[in-house]
Amino acid sequence: MSSIVQKSTTKIIINESTGKRIIEQSRLRMLCVGFFFVLCFASISVRMVEVAVIKNPQALTVTIFDPDNEGESEQVEVKTEESHLQRGNIVDRNGVLLATSLMTASVYANPKEIRNAADVARKISKILSIDAKTLLNRLKGKKSFVWIKRNLTPKEQYKVNSLGIPGLYFQPEEKRVYPYGNVLSHMLGYVGVDNKGLAGIERQFDRRLRETTLNNEPLTLSVDARLQSMLRSEMANAVSEYNAIGATGIVMEIDSGEILSMVSLPDFDPNKPAKVSDDSKFNRATLGLYEMGSTFKSFTMAAGLEYGVVNMKSGYDATNSFKVATFTISDSHGKKRWLTVPEIYAYSSNIGTAKMALDIGAKQQKEFLKKMGMFKPIDIEIPEKANPQFPQEWKEINTVTISYGHGISVTPLHLVQGIATLVNGGMHERLTLLKDGNKGKEAKERVISEQTSKNIRRLMRLVVDHGTGGKADVAGYRVGGKTGTAEKVQTGGRYNPDAKIASFVSVFPVDSPKYLVLVMIDEPKGDKSTYGFATGGWIAAPVVGRVIARMGPMMGIKPRYDVPEDDAEKFWVHREKDEKAKVQAAYASLFVDKKYVSY
């Protein structure tokens, strides 16, 4: 009996020991499994943070068909890197939205999963307004990924999703939107299918705009959307009225160097860049190289005054044409008499300007134009910039023709920067497309004296008061400026008298210039209203006058009617017959050496 009890007790002890061991093993296993799951969830969490916040790796890289691009067979590579981050906004100087990004959905298909391609193509084509036959060909292909349509509207997405068709999928994407359409196209530029900047500000600040969303700070431009819309409207009307092939317009704040408006016509819709012609994408303001014509006389006049070659009381004999080498220098509508320096500028005399340039000399002329920045691209925040064209061998004839704007080609921005330097007290200011873009930059460089700058302003006012720019005058705003008419060079190197650049560059109020306005019309055709003339005075000056008349109140500039005319008037020749002979005789006595031979 005792042996039986002992065996039973031993068995119970063994069972208890085994049970404890099994329980401990189970606990250990549970701990291991739990630790394993903790590690898994921790790894997943770290990876999610790494993907979403830190590295943001590429989610998808495939070769696809893009139906929004021109050419039905074009293959493009799309990357969804940083697809969850929206590109930063661009605003004007007043905070008006110029460019933004919207999250949209694009629909694509896996043809291998499509059961009835014909039926799917029929239904989808009606909703998305695309060609059913073309879509069917894509769905019958052997690829596993084809785009059907990019950037659907919410309504389109809802209707497609409601069909419940297997094999159709939505891809979240970002669409760049330009609320002003064509109005700022050349300045803003556009983005590509991967949402990277391809032109204009979008390209110049591509990296900054991609990083902007991290701190939610928009890119603020110097442009004023109100001025841009108004200037474009006036120029478009002029292009239409005079049957021109294009135009350029620029408004600048003189003291800061900030560009308030920059228009190039023809323009394009940056919302649909793939369907735009190369001519429309060409930015005439920054890439167009033109012989500027008589607006360049401003630099010759400034150089003559700065180097002491002439003063406001000087003059030249412009009675007859004269020759340099084999070229005859003449005036289109000459006065056929001695002209004072103010008259040479106001009447835009080629003869008087050329003779002054010869007195200045080639060396000083080149030196002056170099200081004005005419031999290098403009330093401004836009990638599309052109190199000026000028003669490498600077002969006497080059000195003459360049003095009145032929034989050297620069962009409209070069002219704007140069004229601003002449009227702002003589300081060379960098141009900028950013609000406060020149704050903290290097100090301005003096190019001419304050006295020379003052005299140029006086001369520019005389152009509007008595000369070729009268149609730009606006009561109360004291406009000063200079006309320019240049024949374009055609194939073979000859000038085409029927293809002109008509321009007018102006500043106002001229006594203390605050704004500069340039308008250039490319190949205008004169009509009855201009008596057949296609010149800067008849074509461009009136446009500038209308722009200033609308711009002044918009910018809060009160017109003034009590300002006396500048004393430059005293150097103006009285045209009465009894005074004319006395003036000619007086100036003739200053040129007894007869340096220039008339023909």
Is residue 86 within 8 A of residue 174, CB to CB? The reply is yes
Contacts of 545 (CB under 8 A, 6+ apart): 471, 472, 473, 474, 479
CB atoms closer than 10 angstroms to residue 137: 14
- Identity of the residue numbered 257: G
| Main-chain dihedrals φ then ψ at residue 180, nearest 5 degrees | -90, 0
Is residue 514 within 8 A of residue 508, CB to CB? The reply is yes
Candidates 100, 64, 68; CA nearest to 192 is 68
Indicate the burial class of 352 (C-beta count within 10 angstroms; 0-12, 13-18, 19 or more): buried
Measured CA angle at 54 (ends 53, 59), to 5 deg: 75
- Identity of the residue numbered 260: L
| The pair of three-digit structure tokens given for residue 475, joined into one six-digit string | 């009561």
- Identity of the residue numbered 77: E
Q: How far is CA 65 from the centre of its chain?
A: 32
Is residue 561 within 8 A of residue 518, CB to CB? The reply is no
Candidates 506, 498, 505, 542; CA nearest to 522 is 498
280 is catalytic: no
- Identity of the residue numbered 494: R
CB atoms closer than 10 angstroms to residue 116: 11
Q: For residue 32, what is the enclosing H or E element?
A: helix 2-49
Could you say which of 106, 185, 222, 294 is catalytic?
294
Is residue 223 within 8 A of residue 386, CB to CB? The reply is no
- Identity of the residue numbered 471: K
Measured CA angle at 121 (ends 118, 122), to 5 deg: 85
- Catalogue the active-site residues: 294
